[in-house]
Amino acid sequence: MKYLVLLLIFLNLSCKSDKKAPVILEVHDFAGVAPYLELEGSKTYVVNFWATWCAPCIQELEAFNEEYEQRKSEFNIEIIAVSIDDVRTKNRVKPLVNGRNWNFTILMDTNQDLKRVLGVINPPYTFVVKDGKIV
C-alpha cells in the first residue's frame, strides 16, 4: 500500500480546516539542534509521528521512503518524521534511521511536548499541511 500516494491524492483537495499549522519548536535533530520550522509557504508538508517500538509506524515510513525521492519535487512536498521515543528508547532512533536510509527530516520529540500540543494520542499519526493549514 502506498501511503504517500494516498496522501498526495488528498493534497489536491482544498484546505477544509481553519486550523493553522503549528510552528514546530522544541524538537531536535540527532545533533541536538532545535530547528525552527514554519509549516507555511507553497511547500506541502507531511508530518508523521512515530516511534521505534511501533511496527505500523516503521511500515508507514518505509512506504513513504519508497516514493519520496521521485515525488518530492513533483508535488513540492517535504516529509518530517517526528519520533516520540522517550528517554528510555531514544537511543534506538538514529541506528534505525541510518539502517533504513530514510531520506527525509527526522526530529526528536523526546519530552512529547509537540505530541501533546497537537493532541496526538497514538502513533502512527500523520497530518498534511498545505498553505499553512492542516488539511
Locate 83 and state its grid cell: 519520533
- The CA distance from 102 to 40, in Å, is 23
State how far the alpha carbon of 86 is from the alpha carbons of 13, 19, 108, in Å.
35, 28, 9
Residue carrying the nine cell digits 509557504: 41
Q: What is the mean pLDDT of the chain?
A: 80
The predicted-structure confidence for 15-39, as pLDDT tens digits, reads as follows 445 566 655 556 777 777 676 667 7
- For the segment 42-70, the average pLDDT, to the nearest whole number, is 93
DSSP three-state, residue 14? coil
Residue 65 is predicted with a pLDDT of: 94
Locate 118 and state its grid cell: 497537537
Residue 80 has pLDDT above 80, yes or no: yes
